[in-house]
Structure 1
Amino acid sequence: MVHFLGEYEVTLDAKGRFLLPAGFKKQIPEESALRFIVNRGFEKCLTLYPMQSWEPMFAKISTLNDFDPKVRAFRRQFLGGATEVEADTAGRLLLPSTLRDFAGLTKNVILVAAVDKIEIWDADTYKKIFEDFSADHFSELAQEVMVKTDPKND
């Protein structure tokens, strides 16, 4: 399983391509090709899934009940626009224009580790998240999230 750490600023070229930083490349197992699925994130960003992270999630989504309207709405939102991308010979990944537009990506982009995937944010949008988030709010959020997920608290 892939586990990412780090945050890297990259530049999109005129065609919407970027070079995957060496720091992330080193975290991808050697036997894995630089093939990914990119789709809309839950916030105003894109999510880049290595194939070994995407495939089990896609398998799970495939088993959901087609007769449930919430499942259909979720699939539409989550899978709509999902696109396979592979690094070219120069190591660049091309982001589809519809997805770039969704996330409001400009020339300056920040790639952010998100456990087994990478979030792709417009640099100004990403930086604003931290400007609007105080240390006290972060502490409260950490306590709420970590206490709820700690199995010792069940």
Structure 2
Amino acid sequence: MAGFLGEYEATIDSKGRFLLPGGIKKKLPEGTTTLVVNRGFEGCLVMYPLPVWETIEEKLKKLNDLNPKVNQFRTAFLAGASEVELDSAGRMLLPPSLREFAGLTKDITLSPDVDKFKIWDTAKYKKIFEQSADLFSALAEEVTGGVNGW
């Protein structure tokens, strides 16, 4: 599966559904109708294609069950995970507890994260980019180690 690119805006309806943008559907593996949505670490939601989620589950199974921190992490990480099905119109229903966690009301933005998407409240997402170019440059230097062509 190729990585995701682009930002997509959508609107949550009164039932908590939104139409999955066509640009995202095209990049999903053929016949995908099930996705997993979970709490993100940044106050957003993370939407995983099922094959990506399955690789995460395999990694979680390999962690040491005797380590209390592993159990604490698994509990916190898996507690919000929900399988969601695309309906015949291409809409998906976000569970109320996850919408509440991320502060999603109406306008949302889906942003790529390599092999998954983050689902943000649009106003919160826009605040991320209010940083100056200098702050972004410093962050890029720190994360990539300043290596050219990383």
- Fold in common (TM above 0.5): yes
Q: What are the residue-to-residue correspondences of 1:5-154 with 2, within 5 Å? A: 5-30=5-30, 32-131=31-130, 133-147=131-145
Compute the displacement of 1:29 (Å). Answer: 2.7
Q: Normalization by structure 1: what TM-score? A: 0.91
Alpha-carbon distance between aligned partners in 1 of 2:64 and 2:126, rounded to the nearest angstrom: 39
Task: Look up the equivalent residue of 1:15 and give its one-letter code.
Answer: K
Aligned length: 149
Runs of 4+ in 1 over 6 A off after TM superposition: none
Task: Give the match's secondary structure for 1:29.
Answer: coil
TM-score normalised by L of structure 2: 0.94
Q: What is the CA distance between 1:34 and its match in structure 2?
A: 2.2
Letter in 2 for 1:108: D
How far apart are the structure 1 equivalents of 2:136 and 2:23?
Answer: 26
Deviations 1:11-64 (A, max 9, x none): 00011101110111111132x412111000011000000011110111110121
Deviation at 1:115, TM superposition (A): 0.3
For the residues of structure 2 that align with 1:41 and 1:134, how far apart are their CA atoms?
A: 24
How many angstroms apart in 2 are the aligned matches of 1:76 and 1:45? 18
Unaligned runs of 5+ in 1: none
Q: Percent identity?
A: 58
- Tell me how large the CA RMSD over aligned residues is: 1.6
- By how many angstroms is 1:2 displaced? 4.0
